Amino acid sequence: MVSLVFDTNSSSCRRLVQGLPFPAPDFRNCNNSQGCCPPPYNKTFENFYVFDMTLPMRSRRPAHLLDDAYIAKYQKAYQLLRALPDSDGRSWKNQANLHCAYCNAAFYFPMAKSRLEIHYGWFFFPWHRFFLYFHERILAQLVGDDTFAIPFWNWDDQSANPPLANVLPDVFANAMYKNKSSSLYDANRNACAQPPNIIDLQNLFQCENQTPSLKASLHESNNRIMYTQMVIGAPISRLFFGEPYKLGGWAGPGGGTVEASPHVPVHTWTGNPKAKIATSDMGNSQFSAFDPIFHAHHSNIDRLWEVWKALAKGNHQDITDPDYLNTEFLFYDENGNLVKVKISQALNINTLRYKYEDVANFWVHDGSDATSISCFPTSTLEINKMIINTPAFNTNNPITFANSTFTFCVSRPIERRLHGEEVLVIGGLHIGNATSLFLNAFLYFPTANTNTSISCRQFLGKLGNSGVNFGPDLPDSKKEWRLAITPKLQSLGMDQFSHIVVTLVQLGVPQNIQFKTTQIVYFE
């Protein structure tokens, strides 16, 4: 994978630094402040896990359509999982700790600049696919049914026809409010996530009475986020999967569009915002896998990987970089053995013997530019006046803004469209000690504010950060937010302008945010 970076200050291009694939971490050397290391080796270590192609094909179903027989087996599986002793690598605690260790920098490699991190980079999708695979196989063995599959929480489906997919599924909602003895119960879920409230992928800091008009607005904005992050914002693999992360490089170099949103907002919406950070579960990456809904949430994220590839087969392809494909992880399998896998083994779900039940992806059409409104005058004269009146970003004067919005202008190189996909990179990000942060970006919309609907066509993308692991050791100078420019400009009919005007909008309580650079990058 090659990318060319055109620096608007130096008029030069540079290529990505080459690295090496990560070998499997040594669990015996696990060390982090959260105390969530997996158990030491206690059974046979296999060089590589062999996926059993003779297994029956498992079908993952949408959680809002589960029948009583499946729910009974689902609850039984988690009951048996919770009963396993902590000395067993398959146990409920060790499954959750495994996620905590990989996503809270518990593994150090001598050649690395920082500790291993599977978020905010291209490991996000494949690592979680493996995690779900082994979790599913453990549950299947516990209930003695090789056809057993975990469900997916189809929160991206905004259809208003019951049963609703975009509410907390009954199998979890009932456990939350009606049956605290259920193995699917978690005390640290957000009370605002209780049905009949539908999921809110945008305004995550309020708990409102969802009137019919508000729900209609949420349907529209949720569809808009899905379309933006899955289609407009992710025209090529590097933007969808995230930045390359190789042995010898910095952890957390930058996540893909879906990881930033809707992945993070679903976590934030589901986790209890009033709980202590140590017990907020879904709202905190350290503890999120302690809530059984985590696996249903990530099952949908995994499904979206398959959906993205099917949307545009020409450009939407898996990463082929050998350092990515040969990176290794360790997991405990269904027999409690510690096993090794390579990312190359995760690309074909037929090999993993599961599939997703077909569902409609309404956001592909309902969230497209054609169905949304333009929220600002867009004549050529008005845009040119806007460009003239908007201050250019000065790289010698890092920007810190603690209010809710900031607008700046960036020059587009004359050589644009000759080098690949045009991307705006906002660099040198310093987020401070924020526990959560969400930024919306708009193009040619300087009056955008916290009340601006993302249904506007000028909505460019969303940054979501849990605040826990945004590159735990990554220097601020390396932290970047990347936004695809070409598809949005073309959809707005504004590809002819020599500059872009960008407005950033903070959601929630304004925090001190600093960034030092803006540049146009071309990804091939």
With cut-offs at 50, 70 and 90, classify the pLDDT of residue 436: low
Give the mean model confidence (pLDDT) for residues 363-392.
84
Give the mean model confidence (pLDDT) for residues 373-385.
84
Q: Are strands 58-60 and 354-356 parallel, antiparallel or unpaired?
A: parallel
24 within 8 A of 339, measured Cβ to Cβ: no
**Residue 93: burial class (beta carbons within 10 Å; 0-12, 13-18, 19+):** middle
Structure tokens at 489: 């400009």
Least confident range from 199-213, 218-232, 233-247, 468-482: namely: 468-482
Q: Are strands 45-46 and 338-342 parallel, antiparallel or unpaired?
A: parallel
With cut-offs at 50, 70 and 90, classify the pLDDT of residue 17: very low
Give the mean model confidence (pLDDT) for residues 38-66.
86
C-alpha span between 521 and 524 (Å, rounded): 10
DSSP-assigned letters across all residues of 34-76: T--PPPPP-SPEESS----TTSPPEEE-BGGG--HHHHHHHHH
Give the mean model confidence (pLDDT) for residues 248-258.
90
User: What is the model's pLDDT at position 378?
Assistant: 74
Give the mean model confidence (pLDDT) for residues 89-112.
90
Percent of the chain with pLDDT over 70: 85
Mean per-residue pLDDT over the chain, rounded: 86
CATH of 23-369, one of 1.10.1280.10, 1.20.1250.20, 1.10.3720.10, 1.10.10.10: 1.10.1280.10
Name the more confident of 302 and 313. Answer: 302
Q: Locate the domains of the chain by residue range.
A: 23-369, 371-523
Name the more confident of 248 and 274. Answer: 248
User: What is the model's pLDDT at position 5?
Assistant: 35
Residues 164-176: pLDDT tens digits? 999 999 999 876 6
Highest mean pLDDT among 253-257, 338-342, 353-357: 353-357
Give the mean model confidence (pLDDT) for residues 46-54.
88
Q: Helix crossing, 124-143 with 92-103: angle to 10°?
A: 170
Dihedral sign computed on CA atoms, order 23, 27, 33, 36: positive
Least confident range from 101-115, 118-132, 149-163, 411-425: namely: 411-425
SS3 label, residue 510: coil
C-alpha span between 168 and 186 (Å, rounded): 13
206 within 8 A of 451, measured Cβ to Cβ: no
C-alpha span between 450 and 136 (Å, rounded): 41
Structure tokens at 113: 């600049």
Give the mean model confidence (pLDDT) for residues 134-160.
97
Percent of the chain with pLDDT over 90: 52
Of the candidates 152, 258, 240, 273, the residue with the CA atom closest to the CA atom of residue 201: 258
Task: Name the DSSP class of 222.
Answer: H
Dihedral sign computed on CA atoms, order 406, 411, 413, 418: positive
Least confident range from 32-41, 272-281, 282-291: namely: 272-281
C-alpha span between 265 and 261 (Å, rounded): 6
User: What is the model's pLDDT at position 397?
Assistant: 62
User: What is the model's pLDDT at position 389?
Assistant: 95
Give the mean model confidence (pLDDT) for residues 462-469.
64
With cut-offs at 50, 70 and 90, classify the pLDDT of residue 398: low
> Each residue of 334-343: b (16+ CB within 10 Å) or e?
bebbbbbbbb
User: What is the model's pLDDT at position 272?
Assistant: 74
485 within 8 A of 500, measured Cβ to Cβ: yes
Q: Is the pLDDT of residue 252 over 90?
A: no
Q: Is the pLDDT of residue 14 over 60?
A: no
Other residues' Cβ atoms within 10 Å of the Cβ of residue 160:
11
User: What is the model's pLDDT at position 468?
Assistant: 47
Structure tokens at 338: 């510690």
Give the mean model confidence (pLDDT) for residues 66-75.
95
With cut-offs at 50, 70 and 90, classify the pLDDT of residue 45: low
Q: Is the pLDDT of residue 98 over 90?
A: yes
User: What is the model's pLDDT at position 433?
Assistant: 55
Q: Is the pLDDT of residue 424 over 90?
A: yes
C-alpha span between 146 and 79 (Å, rounded): 18
CATH code of the domain occupying 371-523? 2.60.120
With cut-offs at 50, 70 and 90, classify the pLDDT of residue 13: very low
Q: Is the pLDDT of residue 10 over 80?
A: no
With cut-offs at 50, 70 and 90, classify the pLDDT of residue 234: very high
Q: Is the pLDDT of residue 482 over 50?
A: yes
Task: Name the DSSP class of 262.
Answer: I
H or E, element range at 422:
strand 421-427
450 within 8 A of 404, measured Cβ to Cβ: yes
